């Protein structure tokens, strides 16, 4: 009888220890993940719709009360601002073009900042896929997960007055993205007049004459109504607008494995949809703007050769300044390889 209380105490202690052990063995319930993505893409555009569809697929798999908010139309600032907000945790993802992506990893600039280097989407796809594994490792090392790659069409020049030759644009004030001092330096050295602005300021700047020419894709020019104050377009595929959907590594690691898998798969589908639709809608966008008064300057073989000769004079200034030298050389090697096979 004298040992009964001790026995009961030991039994209770054993039950408590077992309960604690079971509790420690169970993973803690994950906190809801709140994804906040920034983009310059217009609300209700094909890019916005693809992101919304992706978000729904992710939320179903994450299934812990998580949510996704997409800030369109540059509501969080320009792309450089978006990257800054990701770094301090105000945003944890973004659909960015090379303008923003190179703030994280400079080598990505090779996909967009080498004018007239690419002659077709097939060449862009080939080079991107060859560079992709190494680029994505670099992004991961810097705290970002690349979920998918996309593009938004070829950049063409929209201007307030007619222009066709490289020399013609020197008399016009040309938009350039804010936060690109190296590009402004190169443009000024070539005799051009760059004006640094955020994307949201382009339309009022065109309307007031602060700028007179803007490089833009036809789809974006139509959506943003650039064709009104800038009714002339040169039919020259200057450079592709290439982008990627990225999230911070911190946000990625906060997701469940099921959420990660669903997000990566849905993002891959969104990237493919964006590429296919954006490429297909270039001609439709131009046709729509022509109905509204856009005047297209055709690209003759002689004019094409003139522009390519001009681009060749720029490459030595781009290499090592806007694009890392080793990446520039790798792109030219890959293009030579691709063209030799074709």
Q: Convert 128-137 to b/e letters by CB count within 10 Å (16 or more is b).
A: bebbeeebbe
What pLDDT, in 10s, does the model give residues 19-47? 434 344 434 445 789 999 999 988 998 89
* DSSP string computed for 146-193: EEEEEEEEE-EEEESS---SGGGGGGSEEEEETT-HHHHHHHHHTT-E
Would strands 232-234 and 295-297 be described as parallel, antiparallel, or unpaired? parallel
Give the three-state DSSP class for 144: strand
Please give the mean pLDDT across all residues of the chain: 89
Query: What's the gap between Cα 59 and its chain centre?
Result: 23
Whole-angstrom Cα distance, residue 290 to residue 126? Answer: 32
Q: Which residue has the higher pLDDT, 208 or 1?
A: 208
**pTM to 2 decimals?**
0.84
Q: Give SS3 for 301.
A: helix
The separation between the first and the last C-alpha atoms of the chain, rounded to the nearest angstrom, is 95
- Domains and their CATH numbers in the chain: 34-341 (3.40.190.170)
Q: What are the tens digits of pLDDT across the range 272-293?
A: 988 888 888 888 999 999 999 9
């Amino acid at each position: 009888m004298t040992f009964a209380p001790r026995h009961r105490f030991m039994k209770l202690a054993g039950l408590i220890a077992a309960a604690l052990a079971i509790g420690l063995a169970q993973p803690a319930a994950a906190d809801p993940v709140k994804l906040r993505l920034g983009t310059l893409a217009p609300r209700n555009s094909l890019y916005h719709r693809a992101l919304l569809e992706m978000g729904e697929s992710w939320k179903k798999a994450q299934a812990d009360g998580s949510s996704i908010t997409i800030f369109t139309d540059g509501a969080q600032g320009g792309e450089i601002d978006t990257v800054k907000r990701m770094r301090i945790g105000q945003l944890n993802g973004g659909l960015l073009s090379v303008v923003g992506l190179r703030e994280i990893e400079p080598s990505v600039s090779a996909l967009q900042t080498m004018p007239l280097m690419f002659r077709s989407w097939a060449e862009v796809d080939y080079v991107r896929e060859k560079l992709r594994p190494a680029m994505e490792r670099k992004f991961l090392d810097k705290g970002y997960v690349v979920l998918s790659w996309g593009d938004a069409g070829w950049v063409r020049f929209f201007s307030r007055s007619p222009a066709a030759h490289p020399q013609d644009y020197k008399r016009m004030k040309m938009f350039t993205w804010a936060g690109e001092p190296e590009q402004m330096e190169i443009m000024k050295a070539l005799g051009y007049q760059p004006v640094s602005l955020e994307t949201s300021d382009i339309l009022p700047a065109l309307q007031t004459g602060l700028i007179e020419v803007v490089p833009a894709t036809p789809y974006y020019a139509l959506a943003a109504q650039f064709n009104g104050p800038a009714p002339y377009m040169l039919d020259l595929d200057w450079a592709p607008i290439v982008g990627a959907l990225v999230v911070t590594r911190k946000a990625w690691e906060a997701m469940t494995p099921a959420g990660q898998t669903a997000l990566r798969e849905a993002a891959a589908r969104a990237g493919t949809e964006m590429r296919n639709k954006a490429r297909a809608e270039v001609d439709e966008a131009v046709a729509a703007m022509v109905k509204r008064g856009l005047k297209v300057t055709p690209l003759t073989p002689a004019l094409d050769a003139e522009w390519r000769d001009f681009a060749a004079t720029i490459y030595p200034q781009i290499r090592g300044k806007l694009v890392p030298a080793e990446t520039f050389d790798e792109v030219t090697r890959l293009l030579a390889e691709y063209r030799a096979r074709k």
